[in-house]
A = this chain, B = another copy of it.
């Protein structure tokens, strides 16, 4: 590889940390816009995601995005679909004997896949999935659920309930993680613990009595795993055969 004077210069070194404004000559595309949007979320969280910020990171103005994307709503949907497309969902060759563990693994993967992108899960709440990669995830989940001896109606509603749980938990977990990441946040969580412990037992006898278990987080995933276990056990209880 040789450089001649007419070659474009290689990109200059730059401080990491903040997103670089990309070469404005490479044309915009949905792909690049979604890349930039996810980079913003990964770097600074969902609240930092704005059309103006994405445009600036791409070295252009906000109006330019609207040639490729209908608006912020569609951009969020595209981000979710991109994340769905990265989920490795092994076609699990549904095995009735290992059904419960297979369902749990599926929901866990969803949960953790979302958690890789901070609080992006918030944008996934209450969205009807219509984008292709997301539909693939649902279809695979349905395939798995159908191997569990459940009625079609239970399978259908369970394919709503389980992702709802994965998403809501990922959102809550992301806020928890975010808080624990900063010194003030860690302080705040300790204060909350102390606050609950100090609550007047006359007015809140049960909170006072259970302050320990209420605050207990043996592992970061313990609460998530508990709810997942409850839901899967409940589904098993609805088996017809």
Contact = CB atoms under 8 A, between A and B. Distances in A.
A230 B227 contact: no
Contacts of A9: none
- Secondary structure class of chain A's binding surface, majority of residues: helix
A190 to B, nearest CB: 12
Given A233-B233, A234-B230, A157 B206 contact: no
Contacts of A230: 158, 161, 231, 234-235, 237-238
A86 to B, nearest CB: 18
A80 interface: no
Interface stretch (A13-21, A29-37, A103-111, A130-138): A130-138
A233 B232 CA distance: 10
Interface in A136-194: 136, 138-140, 142-143, 146, 152-161, 164-165, 168-169, 171-172, 175, 192
Nearest to A161: B227
A3 interface: no
Contacts of A223: 157, 160-161
Contact of A238 (B126, B146, B233): B233
A85 to B, nearest CB: 14
Nearest to A171: B126
Interface string A194-224: 0100010001111101101110100000010
Contact of A152 (B136, B139, B192, B213): B213
Contact of A142 (B126, B161, B207): B207
Copies in the complex: 2
A130 B191 CA distance: 11
A179 to B, nearest CB: 9
A2 interface: no
A128 interface: yes
Contacts of A209: 142
A143 B208 CA distance: 11
A142 B206 CA distance: 6
Given A230-B231, A235-B230, A125 B171 contact: yes
A196 to B, nearest CB: 8
Contact of A206 (B143, B154, B205, B238): B143
A233 B126 CA distance: 25
Nearest to A169: B164
